[in-house]
Amino acid sequence: MKLTVLCDNNTIIDRYYLGEPGIALLIEDAGKKILLDTGYSDVFLHNAYIMGIDLKDLDFLAISHGHDDHTGGLASLLKYYEAAQMQKKVELVAHPEAFETKVCHGREIGLNLKEFALTAYFRLNKTKEPFHLTDRLVYLGEIQRRNDFENKIPIGSVRNAQGEWVPDFLADDTALAYRSDEGLVIITGCSHSGICNIIEQAKILCGETRIADVIGGFHLLDTLPALMAQTLQYLSAQSICCMHPCHCTDLQAKIALSKVLKVEDTGVGAVYTY
């Protein structure tokens, strides 16, 4: 598997790509091309163009959750496909709640496109269940909240199927896991469901306890001391070779993580093979 960072808050020095507070990761495995998230704008398209990457031949677009810093680039991708007069439809895999209206502090923060607009170039696969993108790469589906310390604070509100506004605990938040020969590579968007919950789901679903890498956003920003302590306790007990925290993981969290695990820097332009 090959993973290329197309969008992140950080950029690799001396490469001159654009960054923004969002994430988009291109994964290539078994002849398939999978894009996880689209960042906030057209930055991921700009960077892909400079890297010589053609996103017209995607097989899957996986959405980690419905926030606009992960889905905002969809509008630009639609325009890109329209300009290219693309005939192929890409399969878009996402939790059903990723399409619901989300608000926070009086602002809409959810996916800003109607489902009908997406169907011009995407086949919508709305699922809460795990879904294999390739033999070794799996979309984890709805993450079970197994511990008692993560995902305790909602992010704004979401309008449910009954049209009611309820606190949003991001039931739609998910991630990907790849079964490499060295262990799991867990690929996250924002980890609102909890990085520890995600790792547990990946281990159970894939029947593997070894973890070669965890890369993506960990949602560790201004983290409460008790939450950080319990997160570190869990992570230090796992068999994790390396972590690449980015996007929504602040400096203090990275420093804390580096005291119990091998933590490496990442950003736009980074390429990894497993």
pLDDT score at 163: 87
β-partners of residue 246 are 217
β-partners of residue 111 are none
Helices (H) and strands (E) in the chain, counts: 7, 18
CA distance readout (Å), 109 to 24, 75, 149, 262: 17, 14, 25, 33
CA distance readout (Å), 19 to 7, 8, 67, 84, 250: 6, 6, 18, 25, 16
User: Is residue 246 within 8 Å of 24, Cβ to Cβ?
Assistant: no
Place of tokens 């005939």: 87
pLDDT score at 64: 98
Task: Divide the 274 residues of the chain into consecutive groups of 10 and give the mean pLDDT of each group.
Answer: 98 93 98 98 98 97 98 98 95 97 95 93 98 98 98 95 92 98 98 98 98 98 97 97 98 98 97 98
Query: CATH 3.60.15.10: does it fit domain 2-273?
Result: yes
Domain residue spans in the chain?
2-273
pLDDT score at 162: 85
